[in-house]
Structure 1
Amino acid sequence: MEWFPIVAGTFKLLVLGVAMFFAIKWHYDKDKEKKASMSENNETSGL
């Protein structure tokens, strides 16, 4: 059972790494979408 902490720790780091990647990607995409819609609104309003 000496291998269990190594396997569990590796799995935990992998899962947290993937979760952090998707969290950052989600926020980045939301910000990009928001900026695009604001830019579109400015173009249509003539600013």
Structure 2
Amino acid sequence: MNWVPVVLGVFKIGVLGTAMFFAIKSHRDGEKMQKKEREANAQNASAEHAVEVSKPD
């Protein structure tokens, strides 16, 4: 019966390690998406501004 805490401990470490890996991965992927969205919004805003400036009244 001395093997039960060892097996459960290894299982717990495996589950927590996997959860931490996916949490960190999700966070980093979210930051990359936000950075791309900010860059796209900045490009769209500058393109819209250029179109507005060139419109004759």
Shorter-normalised TM-score: what interval? Answer: over 0.9
Q: Percent identity?
A: 47
Structure 1: gaps of 5 or more residues:
none
Q: Report what 1:29 is aligned to.
A: 29
| Count of aligned pairs between the two proteins | 47
Structure 2: gaps of 5 or more residues:
48-57
How far off its partner does 1:30 sit? 0.8
* TM-score using structure 1 length: 0.93
* TM-score using structure 2 length: 0.78
CA distance in 1, matches of 2:19, 2:25: 10
Matching of residues 1-47 of structure 1 within 5 Å: 1-46=1-46
CA RMSD in angstroms, aligned pairs only: 1.3
CA distance in 1, matches of 2:20, 2:39: 28
Q: Larger Rg: 1 or 2?
A: 2
CA distance in 2, matches of 1:15, 1:24: 14
After TM superposition, the runs of 4+ consecutive aligned structure 1 residues lying more than 6 A away are none
